[in-house]
Structure 1
């Protein structure tokens, strides 16, 4: 910067200067006229103190540079989602579910029709658009058209599953009310409810069919050291509500690591469900302790199938390396142990 250029004062300097002048004016007015003028100091003095504090602190650069106006940024950030949702977002915007999709869920939960007459909002000409095509001779679908048998010749108790089921969400991640609602919905709709890896709670037992998911923490079927316990597994797996068992190898949302149950969330009820010590932080390891290669994994599935009384068993994975899945397929050929289903996560 050349010596003949004048440096522009920073916003923080201008703010402090303006507040000092403002407080001086209020004091002068009070000295000259007395009375109610001093009441304004209840506003101007705190503003000056806040401004002084903000220019001294080092945590927030915005408040350091703009001691008072900087708060507007945080205010606008806090109301941004509501502003977008109610004023700027169209019915087809939003992710993962747009307003129209959410409205369908709300209306169906209230048993209200969601018919929209006279046209459509979606662009039927765009690539990937979906719709129901007309037919001159529509046929009535068979009663079992939307169901499929899960269970191969090695399975003693195949399950006639719906093609529409509830994905894995644990009690603890969801409230008891949400778990109850999902399970009762599964009962009403005639489909299955995946427990998630958090174990089977009493809220899962509201009449809906269950897919019991077993993760690396072996919640609901573990001993005091966190290892798989045959007896506890058999007790839970043979419940009439449990129709299938899913061994979780990995999921798309958590590549390469397990999970953590914080001590604050590990209540007496959660601890009893998961067979852990109450009030402690519980770690789910990245990998299973019961096996370390494809052959051992298939043998573990076979053991779970036997302990469950012949119910369908399968595994869930997110394919990170195609060769790893190829090795599982080769192990199936070598051991002749065939899982009843495979869940592929995105």
Structure 2
């Protein structure tokens, strides 16, 4: 059975909603919500992702996911059977729900590692590099993230979920993530207890020290709560959006690559190979001489 990635239909709505929010902000005394040069950079990178993603999808869905599915779910007497002994999963409604939850669990750890490992952060920082929080920022995605993201999801088809099902769930996750990037939706009562909402994602995009590296969830917030990374929005605290070491440029190539350049420069600060390794694969902000601090170090200092 073949399915189409929901993002194929989502792109026109993304552009329409960005235009709607932009127009609404300009006519309702919130003229600073959008900065045209910043929006231009975000849209350029969004268009680039839209071009690159289908090419990577061909590799991830057709090659990687199918390869993993075939290896772990061989056909035995005409029936796809997982190597653990159960029959590979079909398309029943409850299988779809299970796949979406596993997708969300995977997204949580994929997203969290993007903040914990500097080499991955170098790709993900693109999404956080704008000082603005709006639907335009939602499409400001790093192009290099697409190259390794499928590797986090390989275990799902290995369990017996159909590769095309995993791709659809990935698309649904992305649709939910897009609409979170607006300040016009307030807290939503009971929904906040289950789902990752707009105010929670505002926390995620803040560079306030107490908010950094929080709320990594996709459409659920349960994994943040279980693994200690959840934080509620304090509406009495003014949010500052962006990153502590911004690219300070509207040039898309600078935005896409500036952290890689910083990593390279940092590796030259010490001849010790462990230090070099940590500058690449340690947490962002790690330094051998404490000249810079990680988020954990900054948050511990804030509590003192």
Whether TM-score is above 0.5 comes out as: no
TM-score with structure 2 length normalisation? 0.22
Compare relative contact order (CA 8 Å, sep 6+) and give the higher one, 1 or 2.
Answer: 2
Q: Which has the larger share of helix?
A: 2
TM-score by length of 1: 0.20
Structure exhibiting the larger radius of gyration computed from Cα positions: 1
